[in-house]
Structures are given as structure tokens and as C-alpha cells.
Chain A
Amino acid sequence: MSIPPITVRSSPVPVAPGADGVAAALLVEHVSKAFRIGRGKPPVAAVSDVSMRLERGVIHGVLGANGSGKSTLIRLIAGLLTVDAGRVEIFGHDVVRDELKVKRLINRVSVDAAFFRKLSPMENLTFAARVYGLDVPTARKSIYAILERLNVGTDRVDRPVEQMSRGMQQKVAIARALLTSPVLLLLDEPTTGLDPRSKIDVQEFIEEIRATHDTTIVLTTHDLAEAERLCDDITVIDGGRVVITDTPAGLTSSASERLGRPATLWDVFMAYTGRSLDDDVVEGEGEGDR
């Protein structure tokens, strides 16, 4: 069963052309962000001089250990943090200068599904529909369709979110993001902590979004198999810096050359960062805790 069409944006995506005449879906140029973690202490860099350019329709993975700067990067793209240096553009629109335009183009799913837990999925998603200017009766039909596709039973739609499992809540969060038809979808570890069945449901759904919707996706994950399965390109980030960007095949190929044997994405990560994906980046190691 495919995702039903969601008619919420009648006009094409407004695109401001870049200098080369073609606006990237996402352009991150020399972006840096540091945080003060205490009085008298020097700022801690969470993201340092990160650049990336995503073309329309791709799924771009961002791999990194805990504290490597992935979520900070997502927040900078989402406009939830302001950059210290550099700039972020989405379809040619600056995230600070054209804040409202950019907000209409993006949505985000974070690792912890955030809802008013006393309210039902339908009440939470109706709220989202209204603030994104959608036609509510149409949106309600879409909500049922998307949740059904994600194997969230219709009997759960009107019960409080707090009564749902974490996996179910995450599916509702993804439904909420898709409901607004974002052309740039930021998925910040959307499958972390999910049971295997829910993880597969979400991954299949992401593939389906790519196949049926005009959506560019940035996906941060710890799951190397997930990254290999879903991503067209992968950026490995460590200590807030971009270490390497390539296709999954390109990454394993270059790691193979370095290691002198067939390599997996795990090998790639170890080879380029010197640490395991399960490691936490320790504060004071020179980089941030975000």
C-alpha cells in the first residue's frame, strides 16, 4: 500500500536561485557553533566549519558518535539555533533572513517524539495542521491514511499519546512531519530505541516517502545498516567537523583501499574517526556534548 497523496501545497516549492542559478535543497556553508558551558570557561565547539550541499530528492545521512555534533547541525538547519559563523540556505532561502518561508519548507522528527502526551494523536496532529495552514478536514483524512500506513491502528488515534509505546509515538511524530508536506525533512535519529518491527516500519516508510514525494531528507543515525540502506550520500562527522562525504559505496571503497581488505561502513567509521559509533564524545575532548 502506498502513501496516499496529501494535497496541502497547491503551488510549487518557492525556490530562490543560488549564484549558479540552481538552488540546492540544502546548502550549509562553513557553519560553526559553540556553546558556553560555564562561567570563566572557554566556549566549547559543537559544530566547526561544516559545509554540505544537498540536491533535491536525495537522502543524505549524517553519521557520528554521541556528542559529535549531529543534532546541533540539525538544529542549526531547522533554525532552532543560530549560527556563530557561516550560513544555511534551504532552496535558496536563508534560514535567518527568510525564517517564515523556510519554516514552511521544512519539518523535523527528533529522537524523542515530542507531543502533548495528554492529548490524542488526532488532537496533536490537528494542531499541527492548523499551525501549518492546512485544511483541517482534508488533513484529518490524511492523518488516518498515514497512520494506517505506519500500522498505527485507527483505534489508537483518539486515545492519549501517553498510552502509546515509544515506537508508536515515533510513528505519530513521523506522520506529523509528513502531514505538512515538507520539501526538506530532518530526521534526527528517528529509529533510535525502537523495537525491530517499528524500526523496519519506519525505514520502509522513509523509502516510500522518497519514492512518492518530492522530499529531500537529512537523516542522522547510529545504525550503519540503516544508513547503507536508505542514504544516497553519507557525511561522517566527528568532533563537530566533517570527516568525509561520499556515497556508501564510495566510502567503503576508499576505506578498503586504506585497510587493504573489503570494508564495511563500520570500518569506514573506525578508519576515519578512530572511534566506535557507540563511543560518546567526552566533553573537554575539544568538542561539544551535543
Chain B
Amino acid sequence: MTALRDEVRASYAFAERNFYLTRRTWAWEVSFLVYSVASALSITLIGVDQQSTKLVLSLMVGAIFWNYLSVVFGWIAETIAVERWEGTLEYTMMAPIRRSSRLIGQVAYAMVYGLIHTGLIFLVLLVFFRDLDLSRANPGTAFAFMALGSFSFVGVGIMAAILPLLYVERGAQMTFVVQSALLLVSGVYYPIEVLPGWMQVLAHLSPATYVLDGVRKGIIDGASVTDLWYDVWPLIVLGAFLIPFSLRSFGRAEAYAKRTGKLKRVG
């Protein structure tokens, strides 16, 4: 019990530290929020131009939930990059805590931050498109899919965090490749049916595909979670696979970094 308490406390330490960092860089946070709002608005206005309420809603969902997934993914993927930049990576690796505690703290903060960030964007969009008919929307479905999809994205994020661990110079930038690949194949702004056949196969391996489909059907059609079982079970399977797989992969990468001296501060 004491060991569990210590691990929870250690996880909290990482979440608290990230909160301190966010607080210290509040001006950047405000700028990033304005950028995200402008981005979501400009994409959603394409639907207005096409005079299609369904397209407006579809693009809005794509923009908002892609923002959430990007933020969660970004925080986790940058876990190592930021520590390497600050030179604290070796210190953190010496701490007497489990790898999972370290990552859980980072992930928990990323999810809370992502929810607040996305919630604010959603509010601005609702004000901007106040005439939109959301009477059929089922917010419970949207929330359920966000929560379910988060598990898979945590796994993908942890795997992306391996890149800055192994590639000292430009590992952080390399994580954008993963993010852009997900954006391309997951049907964020268009249906996956427009993709070439081989890309559609990849689309079915991306958790974002199921999250976006579920959220859209919840918001636009008012579908319930039980109506969307075909989107739910792939997310459960992907989450159940990706989290342990990513933790194990991260552990192997850490062992490799210790063998080759890549934890050392550079620059």
C-alpha cells in the first residue's frame, strides 16, 4: 500500500511540475490557444462556404478533436524532448520510481490540459456558429469516445517519445511524422473512403479514425455509444494493445540509451 502511495505521489509530481511549467509560460499558452481557435475557425468556415450544416459540424468536430488528440499526443511525445532540452533527463532517470509512474503523471496532465484547451476552443466555436442546430447532439457519446481514444493515443504518444530518447539531435521534430501520418489517414477533415485502398487499411489501424467517426455520429446524428459498438471495440482493442506495448518498447529504448550513452545531455 505504501509502495502504491509513493508511486501515485510520484505520478502527481510530474503532473504538478508540468502545471508549474504551463503557469510559467502562460503567455505562450494564450498564444497557442488563439492559434488553435483561429485554426479551427478557418477550417470550419469551409463548411459555411459550402452552405452545408452537416459539413460545418463535421469539420468542426474534426478540428476540435484533432486539436485534443494533438495536444495529448504532443505533451506525451515531448516528455523526453523537454527533459533533454533542460538537461534534467539523467536526473529524472535516476529517480527511484517506476517508468509507468513517470509516464502516468505526464499522461494525466496531458489529458486534463487537452480537455481544458479543447473545451475553450469548443466554446468559442459555439459562440461563433451560434445558429448551428445541436439539438440532436449527444455529448455523452462524444465524451465517451474522447476518453476511449485517449488510451490509444497515450500508447502512440509514448511510442513517439522514444524518438527523442534515441535521436538526440532532432528526435522531437521526428514525432511530427507520426502526427502527420495520423492526420492523413484518420479522416480528420474528409471521409476515409476518399483514400486509396492501401491507405484505408492504415486508416483502420489508426485510433483517431474510430474516435472521429464516433464523435461525429454522436454530435451530428445523436447516436449513443451502444449504437456505435463497431467503433468502440477497435478502440478497446487498440488501447489494450498499445499501452503495454508502448511501455515495453519505451523500456527497451531506455535500456538501449543506457547502453549507448544517449541519456547524456547534449548542447
Contact = CB atoms under 8 A, between A and B. Distances in A.
B88 interface: yes
B255 interface: yes
A127 B88 CA distance: 12
B252 interface: no
A117 interface: yes
Contacts of B21: 116, 118-119
B204 interface: no
B259 A114 contact: no
A278 B35 CA distance: 52
Interface in B16-55: 16-17, 20-21, 24-25
B10 interface: yes
Contacts of B14: 127, 131
A110 B88 CA distance: 11
B94 A78 contact: yes
Interface residues of B, number: 32
B16 A80 contact: no
Contact of A82 (B17, B87, B95, B258): B258
A75 B86 contact: no
Contacts of B93: 80
Interface residues on A, range: 20 to 34
Main DSSP-derived SS at the B contact region: helix
A193 B104 CA distance: 38
Contact of B94 (A79, A82, A112, A126): A79
Given A103-B95, A108-B94, A114-B86, A133 B9 contact: yes
A132 B94 contact: no
A64 B44 CA distance: 64
Interface in A91-133: 100, 103-104, 106-108, 110, 112, 114-119, 123, 126-128, 130-133
Contacts of B263: 80-81
B196 interface: no
Given A35-B260, A35-B261, A133-B9, A115 B88 contact: yes
Given A36-B260, A103-B94, A119-B20, 14 more contacts: A79-B258, A80-B93, A80-B94, A100-B96, A103-B95, A106-B94, A114-B88, A114-B90, A115-B88, A116-B21, A118-B24, A119-B24, A131-B95, A133-B9
Interface of A: 35-36, 72, 75, 78-82, 100, 103-104, 106-108, 110, 112, 114-119, 123, 126-128, 130-133, 160, 290
